[in-house]
């Protein structure tokens, strides 16, 4: 009951942001919602399956470049089509990548995902004529629910229709992921995470379940990447760089990978903390490094792990 109340208040606050918050903070919520979608997927691997990916920026990059290609080269402006295509592209790429990666666990899995991510980053950088190389590609303003909205000032577009569109996508992503992790499939993933040998003896095909979780998480990252591209208006290879993957893991750790909503809290805190620290300290990366170290040492359960267990919605 208390959990539902907290969620309702949080949702009401997010809905009210465009009315009550300064415009810049409204815009900061856009990457939060995009990363929220990405992290829900990442945590299916991390928190529920026990596999830490250091290469998920690959799928963000795929989603973002899908938006650039569709709106630019193919003149497809409907965001619904863009998101769907981003999901399909991410899934198609994830299938073979996952087939390689899920044969390994722990650091080997992490390194392999990192390697695939960097292969894609290099592809984006080197194939200049196709991808724009280091200069990237522009992303035209997408239509929302068939409406052009091209006459609207971009800030108003982002802080109004695009904001609520992103919020709906996030809510749908949450609902679907909630259903997934509370399904028999999600239960199997948790079993695999806790004891893969026992899962095998129970008849669970561990590689197959890991593969499926990987592909689902990639789809989430692809959709999140497509959402992330529009506010910037440009995509570039740094979206697929390994440090971006590292930020995703940081956000998940910050909020708490053991909780369903932990990664969302992590994304929110990360974005606002970065915004604040970047403005006041030139060496903000040092500050973030110190925070990460303190987090791992003193609060391995992340911010939501600081609360008594009954108050949070547990992953396990």
Partner 1 sequence: MGTSRRTFLRGATAASAIAGFPRVARAQAKTPVKVGVVAIRAGIAAPVGTAGLRGTEWWAERVNKAGGILGRPVQLVVEEESNPKDTVERYRKLILQEKVEVVLGGISTGVTLALAPVAEDLGTPWLSWDGTTQKGVEETMPKTKWSFRSVDNEVEAIAGGLLTAKYFKGVRTIAGINNDYSYGHDCWQSYQAVLKKLGMDVRPVVELFPKLGVTDFTSHIATIQQAKPDLLMTSFWSGDATILMKQAAGVGLFKSMKGVFTTAGGVHDSLKKEFTPEGLLLGYNTMYFDDPKGSALLKQFVREYKTKYNEYPPYECDHAYFCAESWKTAVEKAAKGGQWPGKADVVKALEGLEVESLSGKRSWREDHVMMCNFYQGITTHKNSYDFVTIDPIEVISTKQAMKPAGTKLLEWIAGWKM
Q: Which residues bind partner 1 (CB under 8 A)?
A: 18-19, 22-24, 27-28, 31, 125-126, 128, 132-136, 138, 153-156, 159-160, 228, 231-234, 236, 238-239, 275, 278-279, 282, 284-285
- How would you label 87-108 residue by residue, b for 16+ Cβ within 10 Å and e otherwise? bebbbebbeebbeebbeebeee
Cα end-to-end span (Å), the chain: 19
With tokens 């989603």, the residue in question is 63
Q: How far is the CB of 71 from partner 1 (least distance, A)?
A: 13
Ramachandran area for residue 140 (φ above 0: left; ψ -120 to 50: alpha; else beta): beta
Read off φ and ψ for residue 21, nearest 5 degrees.
Answer: -100, 155
Q: How far is the CB of 208 from partner 1 (least distance, A)?
A: 36
Tell me the C-alpha distance between 205 and 211, whole Å: 10
**Of 191 and 234, which has the nearer Cβ to partner 1?**
234
Report whether 48 contacts 181 (CB < 8 A): yes
**Of 70 and 216, which has the nearer Cβ to partner 1?**
70
Q: How far is the CB of 270 from partner 1 (least distance, A)?
A: 12
Tell me the C-alpha distance between 205 and 24, whole Å: 48
Strands (E), 88-206: 137-138
Q: How far is the CB of 42 from partner 1 (least distance, A)?
A: 18
Q: How far is the CB of 24 from partner 1 (least distance, A)?
A: 4
**Of 201 and 279, which has the nearer Cβ to partner 1?**
279
Q: How far is the CB of 19 from partner 1 (least distance, A)?
A: 6
**Of 139 and 312, which has the nearer Cβ to partner 1?**
139
Q: Could you tell me which residues are beta bridge partners of residue 259? A: 314
Tell me the C-alpha distance between 71 and 16, whole Å: 30
**Of 55 and 132, which has the nearer Cβ to partner 1?**
132
Q: How far is the CB of 147 from partner 1 (least distance, A)?
A: 14
**Of 63 and 231, which has the nearer Cβ to partner 1?**
231
């Amino acid at each position: 009951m208390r959990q539902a109340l907290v969620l309702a208040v949080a949702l009401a606050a997010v809905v009210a942001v465009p009315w009550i918050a300064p415009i810049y903070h409204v815009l900061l919520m856009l990457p939060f919602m995009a990363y929220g979608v990405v992290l829900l997927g990442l945590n299916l691997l991390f928190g529920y399956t026990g596999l830490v990916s250091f290469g998920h920026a690959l799928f963000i990059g795929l989603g973002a470049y899908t938006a650039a290609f569709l709106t630019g080269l193919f003149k497809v402006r409907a965001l619904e089509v863009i998101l769907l295509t981003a999901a399909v592209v991410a899934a198609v790429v994830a299938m073979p990548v996952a087939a390689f990666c899920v044969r390994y666990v722990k650091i080997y899995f992490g390194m392999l995902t990192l390697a695939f991510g960097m292969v894609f980053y290099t592809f984006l950088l080197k194939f200049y004529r196709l991808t724009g190389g280091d200069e990237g590609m522009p992303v035209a303003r997408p239509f929302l629910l068939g409406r052009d909205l091209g006459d609207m000032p971009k800030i108003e577009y982002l802080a109004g229709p695009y904001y609520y569109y992103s919020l709906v996508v996030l809510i749908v992503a949450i609902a679907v992921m909630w259903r997934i992790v509370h399904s028999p499939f999600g239960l199997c993933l948790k079993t695999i995470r806790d004891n893969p040998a026992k899962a095998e003896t129970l008849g669970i095909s561990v590689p197959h379940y890991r593969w499926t979780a990987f592909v689902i998480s990639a789809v989430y990252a692809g959709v999140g990447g497509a959402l992330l591209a529009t506010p910037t208006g440009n995509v570039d290879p740094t979206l697929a760089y390994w440090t971006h993957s590292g930020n995703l893991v940081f956000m998940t750790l910050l909020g708490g990978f053991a909780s369903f909503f932990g990664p969302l809290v992590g994304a929110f805190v990360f974005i606002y903390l970065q915004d604040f620290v970047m403005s006041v300290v030139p060496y903000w990366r040092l500050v973030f490094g110190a925070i990460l170290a303190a987090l791992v040492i003193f609060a391995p359960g992340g911010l939501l792990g600081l609360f008594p267990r009954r108050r949070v919605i547990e992953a396990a």
